[in-house]
Amino acid sequence: MIAIIDYGSGNLRSISNAFRRIGADALVTSSSKTMDEADAIVLPGVGAFGSAMEKLEESRETILENIGEGKPFLGICLGLQVLLDESQESPGVRGLGLVPGRVLRIPPGNKVPHMGWNQLIIKRDSQLLDGVDDEYFYFVHSYHAEPEGDVVSATTDYGIEMTAVIEKDNIHATQFHPEKSGEAGLDILRNFTGIIKA
């Protein structure tokens, strides 16, 4: 069973429906017990970094413990950004700190928010992107992740090259919304369920 964390900041119905479409057992929950019992955790999210971290406070330790034990994790959109240390959007608010780095505002000169379909630029072999070539995915965001270290599996070009996929050990995350990205997005979710079973 896949636990989709409900903390008031995500497209829960659309991600739940997407997992259902590929035959995966997914449950929307805010229960620490359910997260502990799940085979994997998904953290969706839209909105502001600071607000999300405030709402995640109750689940923070459960998330960190489960990831620390090696449970597969998928962050989506804001669910990717909160993995990092901090964000320009909410100065002084600390993220989960699971991936070193910062979240920065998309530079002036680029339309904000970045909203629409963009092509992936694959950077390295990736479990999450297995069988996915330079497909187009749906993005909606005003800030972009700048992680440290060799954790970026794909980027996208929006005036600047921005992180699109992060993978570090059992942590997987997409800046785009796979649940809104058609068949290519469902392929990402299928790959994640394959990681769970591996």
Q: Looking at residue 132, what is its pLDDT?
A: 92
Phi, psi of 153 (to 5 degrees): -90, -25
Q: Looking at residue 49, what is its pLDDT?
A: 95
Q: Looking at residue 192, what is its pLDDT?
A: 98
**From 37, 144, 177, 183, active-site residue:** 177
Q: State pLDDT tens for residues 110-156.
A: 889 999 999 999 999 999 999 998 899 999 999 999 999 999 999 99
Is residue 172 flagged as an active site residue?
Answer: no
Q: What is the CATH number of the domain that holds 73?
A: 3.40.50.880
**From 37, 65, 77, 141, active-site residue:** 77
**From 86, 89, 135, 179, active-site residue:** 179
Q: Are the beta carbons of 75 and 172 closer than 8 angstroms?
A: yes
- Taking 70 as the pLDDT cut, the residues of the chain under it are 10
Is residue 177 flagged as an active site residue?
Answer: yes
Q: What's the number of domains the chain is made of?
A: 1
Q: Structure pTM?
A: 0.96
Q: Looking at residue 10, what is its pLDDT?
A: 67
183 Cβ contact list (under 8 Å, min separation 6): none
Q: State pLDDT tens for residues 43-52.
A: 998 889 999 9
Q: Looking at residue 15, what is its pLDDT?
A: 96
Tokens of 95: 């993220």
- Owning domain of residue 140: 2-197
For residues 119 and 54, give the distance between their C-alpha atoms in angstroms, rounded to a whole number: 32
Tokens of 182: 């058609």
